[in-house]
Structure 1
Amino acid sequence: MRKRFFILPLAGCIISLATTAQTKFQPQDTEFYSPKPPVVTLVNHVPSDAISLFNGTNLDQWESDGKSGGKADWTINNNILTVKPKSGNIKTKQTFEDFQLHLEWRSPEIVKGNGQGRGNSGVFLQGLYEIQVLDNQNNPTYVNGQAGSIYKQQPPLAEVQANADRWHTYDIIYTAPRFNKDGILLSKGRVTILHNGVLVQNNTQIEGTTEYIGLPKINAHGAGPIVLQDHGDLVSFRNIWIRPL
């Protein structure tokens, strides 16, 4: 009985002290004014701090993804960049880790083939992780290989059709995987994708490299380029910009 007598008043005292301490806070105690976020405005719908990767005039930001590098050999016409079949993938000269990426793409004007053989291209994050580009107008294929998928890993949350002008938009928010100094994986990459404004990947974990055959691989790496894929189809791109985060 004596233990119960001393413990209960002590518990009441603690609760009372906590309540009293809470009431001593003022609004300004939980307000801070620095560091201030940078000011970003929109210029023609593009954030003022974005890096323009393709604005319709040249491929100065790009090079061949071949072993010897060299000039990016795709076609520019009417401010639109189009795959030149058999010329190979192209990649940004600059490399990135975490970023916000915007691009617009369009399937070939003349529809040919079916499944993975129709309007196929891709956007590789850090040159390793592919976001699929594919003509998805009445074109059945495996769901983790359709437009908006993390290729051969995660299907999109929704199948989004082309806009009336046949152009698609991808807005990609990407967090790169992290490795320690010994190359041991600390955290996998993650990606959020809006396809024509519709959420199709929601902070989705990327399991590893994009593999056509077999399972994803975990390879230690640092910053990497954005790569656009030449899959042999006349897929077009425009308005490509990126914001390192």
Structure 2
Amino acid sequence: MTPIAPLALLLLLAPTPSAATPPANPPAAPPKPGAPSAPATPPRSAPKTPAPTAPKPPSPTPVTPPASAPNTLTDAEKRAGWVLLFDGEDACCTFRGYKKDALPDAWKVVDGTIAFVPGGAGGDIVTKEQFKDFEFLCDWKVEKGGNSGIMWHVSEEASYPWETGPEMQILDDSVHVDGRTPMTSAGALYALYPAPEGAVKPAGEWNTARVLIQGTKGTLWLNGVKTAEFDTASDEWKQKIAASKFKSMPLFATKSTGHIALQDHGDPVFFRNIKVRPIQ
């Protein structure tokens, strides 16, 4: 056996060359020139909080049409049949003294109102025309402690209007003694049907009275508040009359047609926007 040289022995023991084992994590191959780059994946973020919604601007306040001038009628009122009883300048055309041909001296036109001014010859005044079924409106104001009234279906057969015509009370409740009881306070059907509290405005301020009469039924309002509702044919009405001072007045509330009266009670009182709507 031929002995093997040491160098040859080393060559025999060396490993046979083979394909190189690829690394576990080979580096990424550079992109080819001109090839599109893969889009980068954006990092995951927390969900967005929606932006607060801006509040809507407030709706504009509706514009209220200006009130018509005092002692005038709107076109709608004219179409509805309203008739003006005072134009702010002349009261003699529509009013006269009770059982008189002319207006008493104490009743004057003052700053667009019919006013009772103490000092001259006075007395109640009535419309020249008579009314059966109707709706009546007016504004009124009194001075401190003032007293007056609105009456309807007034007949001149008696000595005074209140002996025939029911009365809606006009009063400064805060001072006048009649204001201590609802039966004779402002807005009441005087001495028969009490008025609710709080309907009247203070002395010196304008109040609005409304009277609606249809047949034997009637309703009163003061400043939009219903103050009395009645039926002169009802048993309730008859009982109230029997228990009141009117039981001694045989003509009281017996007329179905009559004048509308404004009362002189000795205190200053002012009326404006006096109008009536006859109901056929």
Range class of TM-score, shorter chain: 0.5 to 0.7
2: distance between equivalents of 1:163 and 1:90? 25
2: distance between equivalents of 1:148 and 1:88? 22
RMSD: 2.7
Give deviations 1:210-233, integer Å, cap 9, x for gaps: x98353755343420000000000
2: distance between equivalents of 1:68 and 1:166? 31
- SS of 1:215's partner is helix
2:132 aligned with 1:101 = no
2:153 aligned with 1:126 = yes
Amino acid at match of 1:57: E
What are the residue-to-residue correspondences of 1:1-245 with 2, within 5 Å?
43=74, 46-48=77-79, 49-59=81-91, 60-65=93-98, 67-73=99-105, 74-85=107-118, 86-108=121-143, 111=144, 118-127=145-154, 128-137=165-174, 139=176, 140-162=179-201, 166-176=205-215, 189-201=216-228, 203-206=229-232, 207=237, 213-215=245-247, 217=249, 219=251, 220-245=254-279
- SS of 2:183's partner is helix
Following superposition, the deviation at residue 171 of structure 1 comes to 1.6
Match of 1:23 in 2: none
Q: Please give the TM-score of this superposition, normalised by the length of structure 2.
A: 0.58
Q: Please give the TM-score of this superposition, normalised by the length of structure 1.
A: 0.65
Query: Any stretches of 5+ residues in structure 1 without a counterpart?
Result: 1-41, 112-117, 177-188
Please tell me whether the aligned partners of residues 103 and 171 of structure 1 are also in contact (alpha carbons under 8 angstroms). yes
Query: Any stretches of 5+ residues in structure 2 without a counterpart?
Result: 1-72, 155-164
Give deviations 1:105-153, integer Å, cap 9, x for gaps: 0012xx2xxxxxx211000011211111111236542221111101110
Match of 1:16 in 2: none
1: distance between equivalents of 2:97 and 2:149? 15
Please tell me whether the aligned partners of residues 106 and 237 of structure 1 are also in contact (alpha carbons under 8 angstroms). yes
1: distance between equivalents of 2:127 and 2:226? 26
- SS of 1:144's partner is helix
Matched pairs, number: 181
2: distance between equivalents of 1:88 and 1:101? 21
Amino acid at match of 1:227: A
Give deviations 1:14-43, integer Å, cap 9, x for gaps: xxxxxxxxxxxxxxxxxxxxxxxxxxxx71
Please tell me whether the aligned partners of residues 192 and 244 of structure 2 are also in contact (alpha carbons under 8 angstroms). no
Q: Identity of counterpart residues, as a percentage?
A: 28
2: distance between equivalents of 1:214 and 1:196? 27
Please tell me whether the aligned partners of residues 182 and 196 of structure 2 are also in contact (alpha carbons under 8 angstroms). no
1: distance between equivalents of 2:245 and 2:265? 16
Residues 47 and 144 from structure 1, CA distance in 2 versus in 1: closer, same or farther, beyond 3 angstroms?
Answer: farther
